A and B are shown apart, each in its own frame.
Chain A
Amino acid sequence: DIQMTQSPSTLSASVGDTVIITCRASQSVRTWLAWYQQKPGKAPKLLIYKASTLESGVPSRFSGSGSGTEFTLTISGLQADDFATYYCQQYDNYSLFTFGPGTTVDIK
């Protein structure tokens, strides 16, 4: 089974900061990696898919990169609305999807 890790688990930042979250897979998932934002009591919201493709309607301050086993989500110019928990998810094949443990971005 493919295991996903994220770092850091919690990140304190200020409005305007650039934030980088890292996701690692235990084996190659090629570019089948997605990033989600989740706020309390809400369903996950897709931000990035295929490692670097921005979902329609998602602000361009969000960007994703990476392939194989290492990926990053960058938020350039953090906004108040961005304080949330972020999850990566691999979906390299349909037999087993896996989420990372999550990174909470909170206010410094």
Chain B
Amino acid sequence: EVQLVESGGGSVQPGGSLRLSCAASGFTSSDYWMSWARQAPGKGLEWVANIKEDGSEKHYVDSVKGRFTISRDNAKNSVYLEMNSLRAEDTAMYYCAKSGTKNDYWGQGTLVTVSS
């Protein structure tokens, strides 16, 4: 059974940092692009970043460029999102997803709250 489990969310002050993790099981994550998306409270979905199978290519939505870094450790079947210089508008549920010809599996999310 395919599972994606996010962790690392929490409350942080503006300007702070967090590192989100996504542990994949039930499939070989190194065979797939992986993505992070987010959803602010009461708002729609926003794709945040994705990373190629071997980590050689990464892409980000403009609003997080220079602040967030996506990475992966295929030996651990894990994907990460390092978030720096956090802002109030980064407050959201963060989801990781298995990507490719279809984004078919999503985790249940980890909540990030940025507030003073």
Contacts and interface: CB of A to CB of B under 8 A. Distances in A.
Q: Secondary structure of the A side of the interface?
A: loop
Interface in A23-53: 34, 36, 38, 42-46, 49-50, 53
A100 B50 CA distance: 18
Contacts of A1: 62
Contact of A44 (B50, B61, B106): B106
Contacts of A95: 59
B104 A94 contact: no
A94 B103 CA distance: 12
A36 B102 CA distance: 11
25 contacts: A36-B45, A42-B108, A43-B106, A44-B45, A44-B106, A49-B102, A49-B103, A50-B101, A50-B102, A53-B102, A55-B104, A87-B45, A89-B45, A91-B99, A91-B103, A94-B50, A95-B59, A96-B61, A97-B35, A97-B37, A97-B47, A97-B103, A99-B44, A99-B45, A102-B44
Which 5 pairs of residues, A with B, have the shortest CB-CB distance? Answer: A49-B102, A97-B47, A43-B106, A99-B45, A102-B44
Interface of A: 1, 34, 36, 38, 42-46, 49-50, 53, 55, 87, 89, 91, 94-102
